[in-house]
Amino acid sequence: MSAIIASIVFIFGYLLIALESKLRVSKSAFALAMGGILWIILGLHDSELVHTEIVPVSYDIFSIVVFLLASMSLVEILVHYRTFDVIRGKIFKYHFSDQKQFFVIVGLSFLFSSVIDNLTATIVMITIARQFFKGRNLLVVAVGIVISANAGGAFSPIGDVTTIMLWLAHKFDAVEILSQGFVPSLALFVVMSYLLSKKIKESGDDTQDEIVTTLLPTEKLIIGLVGVSFFLPIGAKAIGLPPVLGILLGLGITWIVIDILKSINRHNTHLTASVEHLIQKTDISSLKFFIGILLSVSALGALGILDHVSGFVYGSSQSVTHAIGGNVALGMISSLLDNIPLTAIAIDILHIQNASVWVLLALTVGTGGSLLAFGSAAGVVAMGMVKDLTFEEYFKIGFVPAFLSFLALVGVWYLQYIFVLT
């Protein structure tokens, strides 16, 4: 009976999350309430089980949420110290044609998202794209940015929330996701870029004045420290420490240097950054959503519900063949349902040790959301930033390129798996 009630609560809660925009109630609020209710159900079912499960669940949630908070804070520091203003100026400097500007912007989206996460990369690159494109071209570029950012985040251990979840769950190490995920992600990017570039029309209307941003030595120092900070989690994992310690170390050192520079510089300039204020600008609501989802999925796992889901998605034997098919299916489903709970469920139900199969899951759930506008956080943000990018427009412009490039990703991964990894 407890399992049935919990299943109903989860389905109903998921429905409310999906209807966030229509109900005008934060999905984070629904997720937290759902997580709390499911754990109450678990407690009423078996209070001893709660004490057994809560410690490992709490550690997992702590690791992911603190990692994301530190990562978001470092990105805010990059924004404050004009990193992306310099990039925008460099693009202006070369006076590329519209099609070449498209390739540059989606290419940067692909690369940046592997470090600063796909959501932030989307926000930054659409802000830059607005300086170069208007009308229909801007819609095409926005779609390209979403697909590129999702693809770039999928092959990096720190590029996407779902990849971070799998990495912290020890499903693969940093070398495995980078070495096995890059080529399939690149294949997706190349196919998508080629198809979307055909939709770009030369406007000949590049009348914007060139923007020149010159960084001061202190700004270059801070940006360099942030860059190093993003690689410290990989170093921490390499020596057997939790990755979250690496990124916290990087944030701490960067914070110390910023405060020292503030004490030396007595003049009130934009360099006198308040890291406390920058941290407050991070997307705390999204972190609460992750907490609620992880609580919900862990409760379902403790009640045994996910065992039944496993049999449906991956088969009772959980062979490699079934796992591959299940991962591709979850990737397609992620265009309709949020990839975070899908990933959390897969972590609990898929009991296979093959790192390559987990890399495939990271790739499919990370990029499958690009098929539809609301299938990924990047797509939702893009629609908010570019008002003419409706669900229908995104579908007309992006569905076929996103679908064909998704098939290319799966195909390249499979060829790589057959001929290189086995």
The predicted pLDDT at position 291 comes to 86
- Report the alpha-carbon distance of residue 144 to residue 122 in Å, rounded: 10
Segment 9-21, tens digit of pLDDT: 988 887 887 777 6
Q: What secondary structure does DSSP assign to 249-262, as a single string?
A: HHHHHHHHHHHHHH
Tokens standing for 92? 């202006």
Segment 347-367, tens digit of pLDDT: 878 888 889 999 999 999 999
At residue 39, what is the residue type?
Answer: W
With a cut of 80, say whether residue 196 has pLDDT above it. Answer: yes
**Which is more confidently placed, 251 or 18?**
251
Mean local confidence (pLDDT), 133-149 = 91
CA atoms within 13 A on the CB side of 363: 34
Mean local confidence (pLDDT), 92-101 = 78
- Report the alpha-carbon distance of residue 62 to residue 21 in Å, rounded: 28
Look over the chain and give the mean of its residue pLDDT values, rounded to a whole number.
84
The predicted pLDDT at position 412 comes to 95
Mean local confidence (pLDDT), 371-395 = 80
Range of 24-33, 335-344, 390-399, 401-410 with top mean pLDDT: 401-410
Q: What is the DSSP letter of 80?
A: H
Tokens standing for 292? 């609620």
Q: Which among 346, 293, 308, 306 is positioned nearest to 324, based on CA atoms?
A: 346
Mean local confidence (pLDDT), 284-302 = 81
**178: part of which helix (H) or strand (E)?**
helix 174-197
The predicted pLDDT at position 415 comes to 94
- 3-class DSSP state of 8: helix
- Report the alpha-carbon distance of residue 100 to residue 366 in Å, rounded: 26
Q: Which among 398, 364, 406 is positioned nearest to 197, based on CA atoms?
A: 398
What end-to-end distance do the CA atoms of the chain give, in Å?
45
The CA radius of gyration of the chain, in Å to the nearest whole number, is 22
With a cut of 90, say whether residue 272 has pLDDT above it. Answer: no
Q: How many CB atoms lie within 10 A of CB 234?
A: 19
Segment 209-243, tens digit of pLDDT: 556 667 778 888 888 998 899 888 888 877 888 88
With a cut of 70, say whether residue 200 has pLDDT above it. Answer: yes
Contacts of 199 (CB under 8 A, 6+ apart): 136, 140, 397
Contacts of 7 (CB under 8 A, 6+ apart): 300, 305
> Would you list the domain boundaries of the chain?
2-421
Could you tell me the pTM of the whole model? 0.75
